Structure 1
Amino acid sequence: MTFLPDTGYTPTPEDRAGLDAWFAEYDAASARREIARMADMAVFPLNLVSDDSAGNGRSAQWDREQFVATMTHVMGEGGEEITFESTRTPVFLSPSMAVVFTDSVMTAGGTTRQLRYADVLVRRDGVWAFQTMIQSGWGDNL
């Protein structure tokens, strides 16, 4: 039998820096609407957890094609600049798994929205990728 340690994993400064760098790259790709690049940074099938307009919890798995199609529909293919100001709180479960809670302000076309979401990321061969997206309001798209 394997016994788990009394406390969770404590990330190294390098762990945190690598995760921060991944999010900086992902936010930059999002701001430029580089949806194919965003998809490159994911593990498919991608798990999604949300709720719909009727207030029901929903979940789904998307392949790369569904991710690209949905994000293109939601984000558009150009136009006004998108900016993000985010505060992230990562919880490292191990050196290769993290749940990251984000409070973000997104501004597009002069409209500002506050977002709160969580992502589950995994590190494979030293590279982070998101595997699960958790955010309210996407359920009608699932």
Structure 2
Amino acid sequence: MILPVDTGYAATAEELAALDAWFAAYDDHCSACRVEEMADMAVFPLNLVSDDSRGDGRSAQWERGQFVETMRHVMGEGASFASTRTPVFLSAATVVVFTDCTATVDDEEYQMRYADVLIKQDGRWVFQTMIQGGWGDHL
């Protein structure tokens, strides 16, 4: 059975605003290539789910150091991001966020679709799982 997205926990306006502010801060760090600050917004070990160049599903867990090293390698300076996000709250402390994003780097546009699992710890959101195709060869 497939259930509609609005089934289950209904986030309050305040919860949606807090999540929106979290992503605004994260996007700002990404645009400025502040990788350490991006890592500060995660909980480690961080789960990663992807696929590889052979088309096989892959998963891994990264510690902070591997996240920082990899993001420094793949992030371009001066990138800008335009994202449309669809949060699906599973509870007041767990949300899966689906993102359609256009990243612009050196006047080239790249379309991405990915999902993040965020959890609330000590009253603040942190991301715990990143799900996106094409990263599997780096896991």
Please, what TM-score do these two structures have when normalized by structure 2? 0.94
Please, what TM-score do these two structures have when normalized by structure 1? 0.92
Please show how residues 4-83 of structure 1 align to structure 2 within 5 Å: 7-76=7-76, 78=77, 81-83=78-80
The residue that corresponds to 1:94 in the other structure is 91
Q: Secondary structure at the match of 1:50?
A: strand
- Deviation digits for residues 58-94 of structure 1 (CA, Å, limit 9, x no counterpart): 0000000000011111115x4xx21111000000011
Q: Secondary structure at the match of 1:68?
A: helix
CA distance in 2, matches of 1:14, 1:124: 17
CA distance in 2, matches of 1:122, 1:111: 33
- Deviation digits for residues 98-140 of structure 1 (CA, Å, limit 9, x no counterpart): 0000000000111100000000000111100000000000001
AA at the equivalent of 1:35? V
The residue that corresponds to 2:133 in the other structure is 136
Point out 4+ residue stretches in structure 1 off by more than 3 angstroms.
Answer: none
Give the CA RMSD over aligned residues. Answer: 0.8
The residue that corresponds to 1:109 in the other structure is 106
CA distance in 2, matches of 1:21, 1:126: 14
AA at the equivalent of 1:17? A
Larger gyration radius, structure 1 or structure 2: 1
Q: Secondary structure at the match of 1:133?
A: strand
Q: Which runs of 5+ in 1 are unaligned?
A: 1-6
Aligned pair count reads 133
Please show how residues 111-130 of structure 1 align to structure 2 within 5 Å: 111-130=108-127
Identical-pair percentage: 63
CA distance in 2, matches of 1:83, 1:72: 16
Q: Which runs of 5+ in 2 are unaligned?
A: 1-6
